[in-house]
């Protein structure tokens, strides 16, 4: 009887037989997905760096001819001098790749997937299927973004913030034609990927913590990833709505962002919209976005520092409170990107005040890190060196 | 043939490097391969950390000494000096905090470098300390921000006090046009739907508006020194931004909206050209231009200082070159210049 029971227990550990495709390509295992995110993120990072080298070369020596431009950029660098629109395209796509594909998906996707189940004692993420989907949507959106570089009229070139009307009107610059449409499609898919991932992280942290792992016993890394995911869920849909309104203005003749425009010799039909609306919608994501980038790194730093200093992180509760405060405040400071946008100056005052508030928790975290180092026994492993360097500029 | 040889050379180079790496690894047979930092590593890194502190102090001082001269000169507008005062105070505060915090960080990294057998202090929290370093930043930042808010409100309060002249800055891909409100100091109504290229009504000014007939439309901005200017910005097509760095002025030009900014210029172009900072900058720039001329390159004519209006929001292909000259002069020569320009009314009757 007991032999039977033992056999039955062993069966629970058995997975279905895995093929090459289910193990390496459409894997639902969080560690494999983390690797996929890491490699894709690194490749996108390398491409972003390559682009930045190209445009910085021309920036450093304006008007100078570089044979490598002609070799790489073809018609976009006649006689080796970069075309002005190609310069703007490189800057735009570099920014988009680095902020979204490398720092959001590449960072959060890799480390949240890898560490959350391991550090909270769960077997895997809440939904392996959604996790797999979120990676493949990320891959598709990255491919579309890269493909947009090879479009005949050029990639999106209105800056990574793609303010309308420049980005909404194909006649304003050639990069606002097909290149811009592909940018919008890529970002819509990217946002879907990011939301699926964030949902997964939130549900996993809330529901799948092992017995005895109360929220106040969570490692700071997990707190950081959890709060980052919440910020993501709150702010990315607003970027999606901004993109959708942009698609409607570009393709269906609406006037959300456009009004009273005379271009290429004629008055356009748009009436009643405002580019400032786009700026508000964009920066409502744009500001939390930078905290989505920062918080996971701070979370990892907390753990790496405390381990390598051989003492607990100083002020655990204060650190958690700071993370939550930063997350909450990050949703009410977006206007500090828009002081000269033409919005009411009083609104600028309000955002200045909230920006003052958000500086405080960041300062608290920095001082807590220094106190963690104080009277520790610091092991300068590579992770420790990186952690110290990370918060040096803070 | 050349490409074949190149590929062959690269392949052999790769093979050689591979073999050398293998040999090197074999030679490391007896050595310690532990990847975890030991006392010696910690000592080296500890000293390097402290050395880095000296380095960053040094490079900060060096940068201030060597590169302060490329910063903007003293402001040429009334609010500009308040603005610069805020900026410099903020920087001073940041520098103080920087010096202290970086010193602490790097000194701790040096002093508490890992040693075998040393036990770290278990010190997990201290709420009084937390309160202290929450409270001090709050007070310091509150003072700074309140001062900043006061300055901002003063600058952005655009009103009709002090008899300002009203000027419209009209932005389009890729040039600027200025429209003076003329003797009545009221701008005529305008809309892009009224643009008539054939009759040279490029700004879309409403001909039937009586205020419009004395408006003066020009391609070079002249400002009388000591007189407040209220700018009204319009854009024809996409977002532009009117950036006048020497006057510490910037405001986006938004199609479909009229945005405003106001300042009072305090230094004429002639006076500015005589300042030490400007003379030094002109000398430096013209030295570079002379070198370019010697090499037969473009953009090598000697430069004379002028105030400038730049576009500061990506607006397309020639955004980088969208500029307008600004000339600040005495009231009399300004009036003289303005009188010599054709008014909108005169322009339209001529067409």
Q: State the ipTM, two decimals.
A: 0.88
Q: What residue ranges in A62-204 does DSSP mark as E strands?
A: none
Chain B, nearest residue to A263 by Cα? B237
Mutation pick from A82, A153, A375 vs chain B, by most beta carbons of B within 10 Å, is A375
Partner-chain residue, chosen from B114, B153, B238, that has the shortest CB–CB distance to A165: B238
CB-CB under 8 Å, A360 with B137? yes
Tokens of B293: 């001329």
Task: Provide the number of structural domains found in chain A.
Answer: 1
H-run or E-run covering B252: strand B249-253
Q: Residue A249 maps to which CATH number?
A: 1.20.210.10
Provide, as residue numbers in chain B, all residues whose Cβ is less than 8 Å from the Cβ of A156: none
- Alpha-carbon span A113 to A193, nearest angstrom: 13
Q: Is the pLDDT of residue A9 over 70?
A: no
Q: Is the pLDDT of residue A11 over 50?
A: no
- Alpha-carbon span B138 to B133, nearest angstrom: 9
Mutation pick from B49, B239, B289 vs chain A, by most beta carbons of A within 10 Å, is B239
A172: distance to nearest CA of chain B, Å?
A: 7
Residue A287 Cα to chain centre, angstroms: 11
**Contact in structure between B45 and B110 (CB atoms under 8 Å):** no
Residue B14 Cα to chain centre, angstroms: 47
CB-CB under 8 Å, B256 with A379? no
Partner-chain residue, chosen from B125, B255, B316, that has the shortest CB–CB distance to A315: B125
Split at pLDDT 50, 70, 90, the class of A14 is: low
Beta strand B249-253 pairing with B323-329: unpaired
A298 domain residue, yes or no: no
Partner-chain residue, chosen from B109, B141, B191, that has the shortest CB–CB distance to A260: B191
Provide, as residue numbers in chain A, all residues whose Cβ is less than 8 Å from the Cβ of B118: 377
A314 domain residue, yes or no: no
A150 domain residue, yes or no: yes
**Contact in structure between A141 and A58 (CB atoms under 8 Å):** no
H-run or E-run covering B230: strand B229-235
Tokens of B327: 């000339």
B235: distance to nearest CA of chain A, Å?
A: 8
Provide, as residue numbers in chain A, all residues whose Cβ is less than 8 Å from the Cβ of B129: 315, 371
Output the pLDDT for position A5. Answer: 47
A166 domain residue, yes or no: yes
The packing angle between helices A345-373 and A316-330, to 10°, is 160
Buried b (16+ CB within 10 A) or exposed e, A262-287: bbeeebbebeebbbbebbbbbbbbbb
Output the pLDDT for position B349. Answer: 82
CB-CB under 8 Å, A377 with B114? yes
CB-CB under 8 Å, B141 with A360? yes
**Contact in structure between A358 and B110 (CB atoms under 8 Å):** no
Beta strand B165-172 pairing with A266-267: unpaired
Chain A, nearest residue to B128 by Cα? A315
Partner-chain residue, chosen from B153, B195, B254, that has the shortest CB–CB distance to A275: B254
Q: What is the mean pLDDT of each run of 10 residues along chain B (351 residues)?
A: 89 95 87 82 93 95 93 94 95 93 93 91 91 93 94 93 93 94 90 89 90 92 95 95 96 95 95 94 93 84 93 94 96 94 85 68
CB-CB under 8 Å, A169 with B113? no
Residue A263 pairs in a beta bridge with A266
Output the pLDDT for position B82. Answer: 95
**Contact in structure between A165 and A172 (CB atoms under 8 Å):** yes
User: Which tens digit of pLDDT belongs to each residue from A250-288?
Assistant: 999 999 999 999 999 899 999 999 999 999 999 999 999
Tokens of A272: 């009643």
A145 domain residue, yes or no: yes
- Alpha-carbon span A300 to A112, nearest angstrom: 10
B160: distance to nearest CA of chain A, Å?
A: 17
A295 domain residue, yes or no: no
Output the pLDDT for position A15. Answer: 59
Output the pLDDT for position B197. Answer: 86
DSSP secondary-structure letter at B319? G
Range of the domain at A178: 25-290
Cis-peptide into A41, omega within 30 deg? no
Domain spans of chain B, in order of start: 39-115+124-156, 165-350
CA quadruple A96, B310, A283, B141: dihedral sign: positive
Full DSSP string of B175-220:
EEEEEE-TTTT-PPPB-GGG-BGGGTBTT-B-TT-GGGTT-EEESS
CB-CB under 8 Å, B114 with A380? yes
Gyration radius from chain A CA atoms? 24
Split at pLDDT 50, 70, 90, the class of A63 is: confident
Residue B217 pairs in a beta bridge with B179
Q: If you average pLDDT over every residue of chain A, what do you get?
A: 92
Partner-chain residue, chosen from A84, A352, A374, that has the shortest CB–CB distance to B320: A84
CB-CB under 8 Å, B152 with A349? yes
H helices of A252-381, in order, are: 275-308, 316-330, 345-373
Beta strand B307-311 pairing with A266-267: unpaired
Provide, as residue numbers in chain A, all residues whose Cβ is less than 8 Å from the Cβ of B255: 165, 258-261, 275
A40 domain residue, yes or no: yes
Provide, as residue numbers in chain B, all residues whose Cβ is less than 8 Å from the Cβ of A283: none
CB-CB under 8 Å, B124 with A314? yes
- Alpha-carbon span A155 to A97, nearest angstrom: 13
Mutation pick from B100, B108, B171 vs chain A, by most beta carbons of A within 10 Å, is B108
Beta strand B175-180 pairing with B216-218: antiparallel
Beta strand B165-172 pairing with B175-180: antiparallel
A337 domain residue, yes or no: no
Q: What pTM, to 2 d.p., does this model score?
A: 0.91
A165: distance to nearest CA of chain B, Å?
A: 5
DSSP secondary-structure letter at A14? P
CB-CB under 8 Å, A378 with B112? yes
Q: How many CB pairs under 8 A join A and B?
A: 207
Cβ neighbour number for residue A257 with a 10 Å cutoff: 27
B336: distance to nearest CA of chain A, Å?
A: 33
Q: Which of A275, A291, A274, A283 is nearest to A336 (CA)?
A: A283
What CATH architecture is B165-350? Sandwich (2.60)
- Mean pLDDT, range A30-59, rounded to an integer: 95
- Alpha-carbon span A272 to A255, nearest angstrom: 6
Provide, as residue numbers in chain B, all residues whose Cβ is less than 8 Å from the Cβ of A373: 105, 108-109, 112
Chain B, nearest residue to A361 by Cα? B134
Provide, as residue numbers in chain B, all residues whose Cβ is less than 8 Å from the Cβ of A302: none
CA distances from B198 to A251, A266, B194, B195, B348 (A): 31, 13, 12, 9, 11
Split at pLDDT 50, 70, 90, the class of A16 is: low
User: Which tens digit of pLDDT belongs to each residue from A139-195?
Assistant: 999 999 999 999 999 999 999 999 999 999 999 998 899 999 999 999 999 999 999
Output the pLDDT for position A1. Answer: 47
């Amino acid at each position: 009887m007991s032999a039977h029971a033992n056999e039955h227990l062993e069966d629970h550990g058995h997975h279905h037989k895995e093929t090459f495709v289910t193990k390496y390509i459409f894997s639902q295992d969080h560690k494999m997905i983390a690797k996929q995110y890491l490699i894709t993120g690194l490749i996108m990072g390398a491409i972003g760096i390559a682009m930045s080298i190209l445009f910085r070369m021309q920036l450093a020596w304006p008007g100078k001819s570089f044979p490598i431009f002609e070799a790489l950029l073809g018609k976009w660098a006649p006689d080796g001098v970069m075309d002005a629109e190609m310069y703007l395209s490189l800057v735009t796509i570099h920014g988009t790749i680095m902020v979204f594909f490398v720092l959001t998906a590449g960072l959060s996707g890799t480390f949240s997937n890898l560490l959350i189940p391991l550090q909270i004692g769960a077997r895997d993420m809440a939904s392996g299927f959604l996790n797999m989907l979120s990676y493949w949507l990320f891959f598709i959106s990255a491919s579309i973004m890269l493909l947009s570089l090879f479009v005949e009229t050029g990639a999106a070139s209105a800056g990574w913030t793609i303010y309308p009307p420049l980005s909404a009107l194909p006649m304003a610059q050639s990069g606002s034609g097909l290149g811009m449409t592909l940018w919008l499609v890529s970002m819509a898919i990217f946002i879907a990927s990011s939301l699926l991932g964030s949902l997964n992280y939130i549900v996993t942290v809330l529901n799948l913590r092992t017995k005895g792992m109360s929220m106040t016993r969570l490692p700071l890394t997990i707190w950081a990833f959890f709060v980052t995911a919440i910020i993501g869920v709150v702010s990315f849909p607003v970027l999606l709505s901004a993109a959708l309104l942009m698609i409607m203005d570009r393709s269906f003749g609406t006037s959300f962002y456009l009004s009273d425009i005379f271009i290429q010799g004629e008055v356009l039909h748009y009436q009643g919209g405002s580019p400032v609306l786009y700026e508000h919608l964009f920066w409502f994501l744009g500001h939390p976005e930078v905290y989505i980038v920062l918080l996971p790194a701070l979370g990892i730093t907390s753990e790496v520092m405390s381990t390598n200093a051989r003492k607990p992180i100083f002020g655990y509760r204060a650190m958690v409170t700071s993370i939550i405060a930063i997350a909450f405040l990050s949703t009410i400071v977006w206007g500090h990107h828009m002081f000269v946008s033409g919005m009411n100056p009083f609104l600028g005052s309000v955002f200045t005040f909230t920006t003052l508030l958000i500086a405080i928790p960041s300062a608290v975290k920095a001082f807590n890190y220094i106190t963690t180092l104080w009277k520790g026994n610091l092991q300068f492993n590579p992770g420790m060196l990186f952690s110290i360097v990370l918060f040096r500029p803070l | 043939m050349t490409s074949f040889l190149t590929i062959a050379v690269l392949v052999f180079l790769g093979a050689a490097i591979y073999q050398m790496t293998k040999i090197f690894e074999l030679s490391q047979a007896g050595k310690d391969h532990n990847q975890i930092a030991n006392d010696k590593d910690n000592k080296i890194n500890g000293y390097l950390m402290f050395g880095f502190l000296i380095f960053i102090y040094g490079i900060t001082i060096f940068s201030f000494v060597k590169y302060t001269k490329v910063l903007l000169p003293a402001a040429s507008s009334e609010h500009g000096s308040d603005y610069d005062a805020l900026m410099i105070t903020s920087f001073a505060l940041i520098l103080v905090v920087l010096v202290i915090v970086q010193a602490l960080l790097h000194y701790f990294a040096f002093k508490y470098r890992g040693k075998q057998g040393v036990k770290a202090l278990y010190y997990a929290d201290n709420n009084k300390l937390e309160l202290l370093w929450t409270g001090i930043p709050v007070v310091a930042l509150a003072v700074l921000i309140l001062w900043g808010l006061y300055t901002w409100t003063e600058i952005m309060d655009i009103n009709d006090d002090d008899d300002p002249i009203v000027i419209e800055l009209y932005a389009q891909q890729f040039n600027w046009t200025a429209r003076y409100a003329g003797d009545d100091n009221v701008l005529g109504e305008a809309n892009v739907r009224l643009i008539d290229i054939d009759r040279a009504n490029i700004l879309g000014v409403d001909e039937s508006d009586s205020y419009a007939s004395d408006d003066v439309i020009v391609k070079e901005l002249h400002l009388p020194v000591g007189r407040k200017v209220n700018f009204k910005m319009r854009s024809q097509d996409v977002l532009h931004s009117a950036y006048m760095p020497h006057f510490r002025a910037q405001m986006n030009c938004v199609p479909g909206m009229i945005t405003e900014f106001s300042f009072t210029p305090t230094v004429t172009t002639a006076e500015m050209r005589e300042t030490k900072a400007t003379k030094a900058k002109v000398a430096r720039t013209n030295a570079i231009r002379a070198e370019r001329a010697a090499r037969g390159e473009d953009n090598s004519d000697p430069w004379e200082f002028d105030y400038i209006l730049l576009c500061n929001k990506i607006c397309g292909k020639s955004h980088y070159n969208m500029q307008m000259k600004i000339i600040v002069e005495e009231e009399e020569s300004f009036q003289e210049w303005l009188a010599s320009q054709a008014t909108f009314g005169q322009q339209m009757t001529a067409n």
